[in-house]
Structure 1
Amino acid sequence: MSDSQRWRHLLMGVLLCAAFWGLPAREASAAPSCSATMTALNFGNVDLVSGGTITASATLNYTCSNDNGNARYARLCFNIGDGSASQASAGGHWDPRILRDGAANEMNVQFYQGATSAIWGSTTQPISDAFDVTLTLPQRVSIFTPSVTTGSFTLRGQINTGQAGLPPGLYQSSFTGNHTAFRYGIANSSGAVPGDCASVGTDGGTFGFTASANVVKSCLVSADPLDFGTVDGIASSTNIDSTTTIRVICSKPTAYNVLLIPSNGDTGGSSAMKGQTAGNTDTVPYRLYSNAARSIAWGSLAANDVSGTGTGLTQSLTVYGRVPGLPNVQADSYKDVVTVNVTY
């Protein structure tokens, strides 16, 4: 073998050794770590006048990784504070929590743990029941790949009833920064897992989110029958009068108009009641008014409807009815249908 050939073999050996020495060493395993996020709690457009329970949900997502060669055991604790709207209103709004609009009107809401009645609170605060979960974190997949454990949980938001007086607009609160806190504790055995959220010590950061609700204009209307009673069947020129009540609830301060539309579609509030017995074609005329003197017709035009402004409370409107003299009709029950429309 020539000298040049021997040098080539020696050089190859050096290069092979250098390649071997350059392989990365396996670092020591790290302690398990966890993180969490929360989606927005958006109630959307809400009608506070119609009543009923209004709810929405947000989703908590959490992830833990374990780089150890053995399983680890964890307690995860998720704390939610009173929010930015509470802080803007001197703080301390826990039960109920609040959302605020731009004019500092306050909507009462609450956050619950899933489908339960447990309020989602914070360990060190007046509502101390933070949501917590225990997990088994499997050993790592390989020396280069930690195991990953994920999960989710539902926050159920609910708007308190009895708030029809709130004006329309966007109500919101931010639960970012120190308004959320994620803490967890890790143990080498299931029996050593921290027993409650007051005992966990690892800071997992925050899982900030926003809560919002857009109150829309809304009205509800109901009415009692207009009953002229029982009269004798003798034709008469004497007026027969009666009244009834329409009840309107509109969000504050919603402007509204109440229109009365008899079955014949007359825009001036005049129509006739029809006999209910088969073959009876007789009718009894009537008229609708908005004043006790029965001089202002109540119809379905801008010129003769009745207007008002909502307060969030029931507003009662009186309908004054009149049969302008009883015609010569056969004995029967006479009826008509009047549609009450509320525009706003």
Structure 2
Amino acid sequence: MSLAILLAPSLSFAAYPVCTVRQQASLDFGTVSGTGARDASAYLRVECSGGTNTLISTALFRVCLFIGEGSPAGIAPRRMYNGTDAYMNYDLYSDSSRTLMIGTPGSNHPLHSATFGVAPRATYYHDFPIHGRVRAGQNLPATSAYKGLPTNSMVRYSYGYVYTPTESECRAGTPGHFGGAGIANFTWSGIHARVANTCRISTATDMDFGTAGGLAAALEQTSAIRFKCPANTAWHVTLNDGAYAQAGRRFMNAGGKRLGYELYRDPALLERWGNTRATGVSGIGTNVEQSLTVHGRVFSDPAASPGSYRDTITVTLTF
């Protein structure tokens, strides 16, 4: 004798209309520059069912999204923290033009809400857009990734059977006409961003010693190296020996003729600027343009032949 039990898939509904959020929220801005704004968008899916009472007509919902301040605290702007020494300011909006901020449950920001009807034993899914923007003009170190964790985030919903609940009813969690209300809390995996740890040389000016009738005395001149690095990024600038160096000495060339010169880190012309860490210049980025002065000297040479002497130096910025 054998017995068989047939298992069929089923779908269960709550007795009364209800809304839930079955996912964690997340928003990733990727890599930001720190100086310009950076936008990113995400969606939070809300699931609302119409209940099991088939004697009642379609439930008319208004569903409202609130995002808490979380950690670190703050709104307008909100903040992410890199775990060591800096905060990144950002905002969350309900509209793609980023004019309507999403508020906390107790704030007076414009309500981010949606309305729809759900029949008994039916389910409706609504995707709430969340548009984020990292604010421009921030002095941000690139030492660590940034993260924000908005806690106390929720979806409040009100429903009725005669009219759709108002924004005030949804904000307060007041039931609609002959209906009900509820809260669906949800969590965040985080708001994420990183700062590009990238330095850029903007200018390396030529060093022009001009025209001299002879080299009975040395000539001196300066040039500038301008660059920008993220805040707190360690940098190092070195200069190679040029195209015509011999035995660790720099020379300019004019048709095979040589003219000795040197480049220095200091105005006293005592510290040669070379291509090693010990002979280069080091510092820390500020997220604004920085400038270094290169001091040069052409050595006196009464026997120097006439000509237009040149050399090419490679500037290396290491970070």
**TM-score when normalising by structure 1:** 0.71
Q: Where does 1:150-169 land on structure 2 (aligned, <5 Å)?
A: 150-166=125-141, 168-169=143-144
Instruction: Determine whether 1:174 maps to 2:156.
Output: no
Alpha-carbon separation, structure 1, partners of 2:279 and 2:126: 62
> SS in structure 2 opposite 1:99?
strand
Structure 2: runs of 5+ lacking an equivalent: 1-11, 175-180
> SS in structure 1 opposite 2:106?
coil
Aligned match for 2:28, one of 27, 31, 42 = 42
Q: Paired residue for 1:97?
A: 78
Instruction: Determine whether 1:187 maps to 2:156.
Output: no
Q: Is the 8 A contact 1:259 1:301 kept in 2?
A: yes
Alpha-carbon separation, structure 1, partners of 2:194 and 2:71: 17
Q: Paired residue for 2:116?
A: 135
Q: Paired residue for 1:143?
A: none
Aligned match for 1:253, one of 232, 243, 252 = 232
Relative distance call for 1:272 and 1:195 in structure 2 (3 A) is same
Instruction: Determine whether 1:289 maps to 2:270.
Output: no
Relative distance call for 1:229 and 1:104 in structure 2 (3 A) is closer
Q: Paired residue for 2:8?
A: none
Relative distance call for 1:192 and 1:295 in structure 2 (3 A) is closer
Alpha-carbon separation, structure 1, partners of 2:191 and 2:25: 10
Q: Is the 8 A contact 1:262 1:336 kept in 2?
A: no
Alpha-carbon separation, structure 1, partners of 2:292 and 2:249: 16
Q: Is the 8 A contact 1:75 1:200 kept in 2?
A: no
Relative distance call for 1:174 and 1:325 in structure 2 (3 A) is same
Instruction: Determine whether 1:211 maps to 2:191.
Output: yes
Relative distance call for 1:28 and 1:94 in structure 2 (3 A) is closer
| Aligned positions, number | 292
Alpha-carbon separation, structure 2, partners of 1:156 and 1:244: 46
Q: Which amino acid aligns with 1:108?
A: N
Q: Paired residue for 1:85?
A: 72
Alpha-carbon separation, structure 2, partners of 1:322 and 1:153: 66
Structure 1 residue 304, shift from structure 2 partner: 1.3
Q: Paired residue for 1:73?
A: 60
Aligned match for 2:305, one of 312, 328, 336 = 328
CA displacement 1:276-296 (0-9 Å, x = unmatched): xxxx77776643211112232
Structure 1 residue 318, shift from structure 2 partner: 1.1
Instruction: Determine whether 1:58 maps to 2:42.
Output: yes
Alpha-carbon separation, structure 1, partners of 2:310 and 2:76: 52
Q: Paired residue for 2:7?
A: none
Q: Is the 8 A contact 2:44 2:127 kept in 1?
A: yes
Alpha-carbon separation, structure 1, partners of 2:80 and 2:244: 45
Structure 1 residue 109, shift from structure 2 partner: 2.0
> SS in structure 1 opposite 2:72?
helix
CA displacement 1:242-264 (0-9 Å, x = unmatched): 21222344344333211123652
> SS in structure 2 opposite 1:84?
coil
Q: Is the 8 A contact 1:42 1:213 kept in 2?
A: yes
> SS in structure 2 opposite 1:303?
coil
Alpha-carbon separation, structure 1, partners of 2:312 and 2:94: 49
Q: Is the 8 A contact 2:142 2:194 kept in 1?
A: no
Structure 1 residue 77, shift from structure 2 partner: 0.4
Alpha-carbon separation, structure 2, partners of 1:265 and 1:114: 61
Aligned match for 1:119, one of 79, 101, 107 = 101
Q: Is the 8 A contact 1:74 1:185 kept in 2?
A: yes
Q: Which has the higher helix share?
A: 1
Structure 1: runs of 5+ lacking an equivalent: 1-26, 87-92, 141-145, 275-279
Alpha-carbon separation, structure 1, partners of 2:273 and 2:18: 72
> SS in structure 2 opposite 1:198?
helix
Structure 1 residue 320, shift from structure 2 partner: 0.8
**TM-score when normalising by structure 2:** 0.75
> SS in structure 2 opposite 1:169?
coil
Q: Is the 8 A contact 2:94 2:112 kept in 1?
A: yes
CA displacement 1:140-189 (0-9 Å, x = unmatched): 4xxxxx2222132332333223333546224323223xx21211122335
Q: Paired residue for 1:16?
A: none
Relative distance call for 1:76 and 1:269 in structure 2 (3 A) is farther
Q: Which amino acid aligns with 1:83?
A: G
Structure 1 residue 65, shift from structure 2 partner: 1.7
Identity among equivalent positions (%) equals 26
Structure 1 residue 213, shift from structure 2 partner: 3.1
Relative distance call for 1:173 and 1:187 in structure 2 (3 A) is same
Instruction: Determine whether 1:226 maps to 2:213.
Output: no
Q: Paired residue for 1:309?
A: 284
Q: Is the 8 A contact 1:282 1:329 kept in 2?
A: no
